[in-house]
Amino acid sequence: MNNRGMSSVQVVVVENDVHFTLNELGRACQVDVGQLILLVDEGILAPINDGPERWRFAGAELRRARLALRLKRELELHVSGVALVIDLLDQIDGLRARLRRAGLH
């Protein structure tokens, strides 16, 4: 079988009750922690605790961080643009959930 034109996808399943430190999240996303701090400052990521040295990130924040970083890189968006896109995606997800609960989707 020929694999030309195919790309591989890496999937990581992370439980929401797993928590990452800022450095661990940086390693998992393969970025400098400074980029993650910008995402926190913009409200894209929501750490638990105060101060970067005490921050903990729930497992779901890994997916959110990777999405934000991918949007920033691939669409060449500033962090504020990334925040807007993610906010709109969150709203779409919320509306879809409401439609499912109402039996309309």
Q: Is the dihedral of CA 47, 48, 53, 57 positive or negative?
A: negative
- What's the domain count of the chain? 1
Tens of pLDDT, residue by residue over 35-58, are: 999 999 999 999 999 999 999 999
User: Residue 11: inside a domain, yes or no?
Assistant: no
Reply yes or no on whether the pLDDT at 14 is more than 60. Answer: no
What is the average pLDDT value for the chain, to the nearest integer?
88
CB atoms within 10 A of CB 49: 11
User: Residue 42: inside a domain, yes or no?
Assistant: yes
Give the pLDDT band (50/70/90) at residue 2.
low
Q: Which of 47, 51, 50 is nearest to 20 (CA)?
A: 47
Tens of pLDDT, residue by residue over 19-39, are: 999 999 999 999 999 999 999
User: Residue 7: inside a domain, yes or no?
Assistant: no
CATH number for the domain that contains residue 34: 1.10.1660.10
Reply yes or no on whether the pLDDT at 15 is more than 90. Answer: no
Contact 61, 24 (CB under 8 A): no
Domain coverage including residue 56: 19-101
